[in-house]
Amino acid sequence: MNQPHLPMDPEQRVTELRELINQAAHRYYALDSPTISDAEYDRLFAELRALEEQNPALVTPDSPTQRVGAPPLTSFTPHTHRERMLSLGNAFSEGDLRDFDARVRKGLDYPADEQVAYIAELKLDGLAVSLTYENGLLSIGSTRGDGTSGENITPNVRTIRAVPLRLKGNAPDFLEVRGEIILTHAEFERVNEQRSEKGEPTFANPRNAAAGSVRQLDSSITAQRRLDCFCYAVGAMTGGPRFATQHDLLKALEEWGFHVNPHYACLTGIDAVWQFIQEWEDKRETLEYDTDGVVVKVDSIAAQRTLGATSHDPRWAIAWKYPAQQVTTRVNDIIVNVGRTGALTPVAVLEPVVVGGVTVSRATLHNEDEVRNKDVRIGDTVVIQRAGEVIPEVVSVISDEGHAGRAEFRMPGKCPVCGADTERIPGEAVTRCIGISCPAQLKRRIEHFASRDAMDVDKLGEKIISRLVDTGTLKDPADIYYLTLEDLKNVERMAQRSAQNVLDAIEEARSRPLERLITGLGIPQVGATAARILAEASGGIDNLSKMTGEQLQTLHGIGPVVAASIAHFFSQDETKAVLDKLSRAGLRISVPDKTDTDNRFTGKTFVFTGALEAMTRPEAEAAVRRLGGQATGSVSKKTSYVVAGESAGSKLDKARELGVTVLTEAEFRELAGLS
């Protein structure tokens, strides 16, 4: 490892380092928006630890080295882990790794010629989670927090498909399982796309997106984020099987129904471990999710026990960290892209460089504040970072003499595509082009209308749309349905056969469900979920366009801001013209089956308690709402039914006390017509 540069006065440096680390940790853990790279953080931490080791008098109880993570946010209730969630020591060089092996061999009293049996597991880069099961049922999901106590995020964890609500096979009486919640690259991109369409700030990387999704007070948002969870360790356990090795433990986790990352290997001796690490350095690029290293563990549980742990890390495991895929390059230009809703995104045009095996020539700068905070200027040398296949980002500017003399970035006052004014609404991070006929917006809007989540016009891609907008053939999304073979053949290099294929795809896209049409219109603030609600409630686009803001607000899941946005959208002449054209285009829009909206639960209030088997609680609550009823969190005399799942607690007692009707899950399903 590079020896950190040690300044003259250790006391001063220690204070400085603690401040930097605390600040960075707060941004990272509490705000999910890191200011420095992980590698930089690790370096600062290592330097602080080294200084404290050399000067024990400088160690204070509140030094960041004295705790594992950061305090939980106040908005969730704290959950105390039965067994502490330890962190791991890091290895950054082959030397660090061999030192670890030497310590293990010494601790286990191994003779020079005997090799240690290790297990090497790819280290997933996400958010650590602890899952508690009581009598086989998931009772609590919690973040790590400071290792002793984390945040209770149970409703959110329950939305993750990879987390079993009930263990398969022989379940221990009590079990804490530890794992990592992650987001795949594809999901990360989808989530960010959606956010930028809504004018919300995008996540910097999949880990922040996973953390942000899990630390959501509204679990229905978490549910939309298709998170994954891979498990790798067990905390407290009573009444379960005894494991001889970590490998046995992984197999048991799999049998209980957890996802276990398949990329691990049982290896004899540290040489084999080193080989595994080198093998995965490039190979990890091909994975669908981010890995930042390899966790090396002594395989035998008995040996782990002999070795024990320090106050923060086990002595039997270490985390190998791959060097961050960071390189420096020059910013040749900062350009501004215009999205469907007119959002302007600054993008750094870079001197091409290779990062993690891929040549990169652009990096996103997210928004105006981001450029300002990092103070990126044209001509600067910057550190850029690539996490897996994700679009690279500018991490920081390397200060040089020329920087101060270069112009500060300013968001253009005119749209770079159509020349209309741009505006930034106070309190929002986004700047928008307000031009109603901006071709950039029009292209994105038509692309969105034709996209897979909307009207799904297969074969009508970005390039064709761009050409057809440029030639004035497409002036709004409805024009798609009026395209002729001639129009398409006029598009550069399009053969008769391809043109016909596009026409066939358009023909097929005349029949689509109403909710897709609503999604496709690109109403600001309306995504797929809101579109479904609107489709069910309105029964047709005509009805929807006539609904007032007040009427829309009464729909469950539509708040005042979204309601106002919808009403405003339909009040515009441009919208009316598009709807008119669409209605003449011979679309066959199917309307959702109304049988569910016969409101059999109107006036009824439901409270769910305990674990459900066949569905998650949000699903059950959604079913109640769909049928006109209400789902609430606490039992009162006004409650119509309490649905009690397994291990139902105090709410069930309260229901009995108040004489409220108690239903089993099966009875509820029958009542709701779900079984």
Residue 51 or residue 295: which is nearer to ligand IVH going by CB? 295
Alpha-carbon span 306 to 317, nearest angstrom: 13
- Kindly state whether residue 233 participates in binding ligand IVH, applying the rule CB under 6 A: yes
In order of 29, 131, 144, 305, the CA distances from 215 in angstroms are: 10, 15, 12, 34
Distance from C-alpha of 198 to C-alpha of 341, rounded to nearest angstrom: 8
Interface with ligand IVH includes 319 (CB under 6 A)? yes
Closer by beta carbon to ligand IVH, 87 or else 115? 87
Please report which helix (H) or strand (E) contains residue 139, including its range.
Answer: strand 137-143
Nearest to 264, CA basis, from 241, 237, 230: 230
602 Cβ neighbours under 8 A, 6+ residues apart: 628, 629
Nearer to ligand IVH, 121 or 197 (CB): 121
Residue 295 binding ligand IVH, by CB under 6 A? yes
Closest distance between ligand IVH and the C-beta of residue 240, in Å? 18
Q: φ and ψ at 613, to 5 degrees? A: -100, -50
Q: Which amino acid is at 484?
A: T
Interface with ligand IVH (CB under 6 A), residue from 32, 101, 121, 479:
121
Query: Is 576 considered catalytic here?
Result: no
* Sheet with 317-321, edge to edge strand ranges: 90-91, 317-321, 291-298, 117-124, 264-268
Give the type of residue at 434: I
DSSP state of 29: I
Q: Lay out the site mask for ligand IVH across 436-455 (x = CB under 6 A, - = otherwise).
A: --------------------
Q: How far is the CB of 87 from ligand IVH (least distance, A)?
A: 5
Smaller CB separation from ligand IVH, 180 or 515:
180
Among 314, 342, 439, 645, binds ligand IVH (CB under 6 A): 314
Query: At closest approach, how far in Å is the CB of 655 from ligand IVH?
Result: 39
Regarding 389 and contact with ligand IVH (CB under 6 A), the answer is: no
210 binds ligand IVH (CB under 6 A): no
Residue 207 vs 366, nearer CB to ligand IVH: 207
Chain CA centroid to CA 62, Å:
31
Neighbours of 91 (CB within 10 A): 22
Using CB under 6 A, which of the segments 118-126, 221-229, 446-454, 463-471 binds ligand IVH? 118-126
Binding test (CB under 6 A) with ligand IVH, winner from 44, 104, 317, 644 = 317
Cα distances (Å, whole numbers) of residue 363 to 55, 248, 340, 387, 475? 42, 44, 20, 12, 31
Contacts with ligand IVH, 393-432, as mask; x by CB under 6 A: ----------------------------------------
Rounded to a whole number of angstroms, the minimum distance from the CB of residue 144 to ligand IVH is 6
Closer CB to ligand IVH, 301 or 317, in the complex: 317
- Footprint (CB under 6 A) of ligand IVH, residues 462-521: none
In DSSP terms, which residues pair with 301 in a beta bridge? none
From 22, 33, 87, 332, residue interacting with ligand IVH (rule: CB under 6 A): 87
Within a 10 A sphere around the Cβ of 152, how many other Cβ atoms? 20
**Most distant pair of Cα atoms in the chain: their distance:** 85
Is residue 179 left, alpha or beta, with left meaning phi > 0 and alpha meaning psi from -120 to 50? beta
Number of residues that bind ligand IVH (CB under 6 A): 14
The residues in 618-637 that bind ligand IVH, with binding defined as CB under 6 A, are none
- Residue 518 contacts residue 531 (beta carbons within 8 Å): yes
Among 188, 232, 274, 668, binds ligand IVH (CB under 6 A): 232
Torsion of CA 395, 399, 400, 406, to 10 degrees: 80
By CB under 6 A, is residue 165 in contact with ligand IVH? no
When the beta carbons of 291 and 525 are compared against ligand IVH, the nearer one is: 291
Pairing of strands 422-424, 431-433: antiparallel
Pick 131 or 348: Cβ nearer ligand IVH: 131
Q: Quote the least distance from Cβ 84 to ligand IVH, whole Å.
A: 9
Binding window for ligand IVH (CB under 6 A); candidates: 110-118, 182-190, 314-322, 395-403: 314-322
CB 446 within 8 A of CB 469: yes
Structure tokens at 339: 């999205």
The answer to whether residues 27 and 212 touch, using CB atoms and an 8 Å cutoff, is no
88 is a contact residue toward ligand IVH (CB under 6 A): yes
Interface residues with ligand IVH (CB under 6 A)? 86-88, 121, 123-124, 128, 180, 232-233, 295, 314, 317, 319
Catalytic residue set: 123
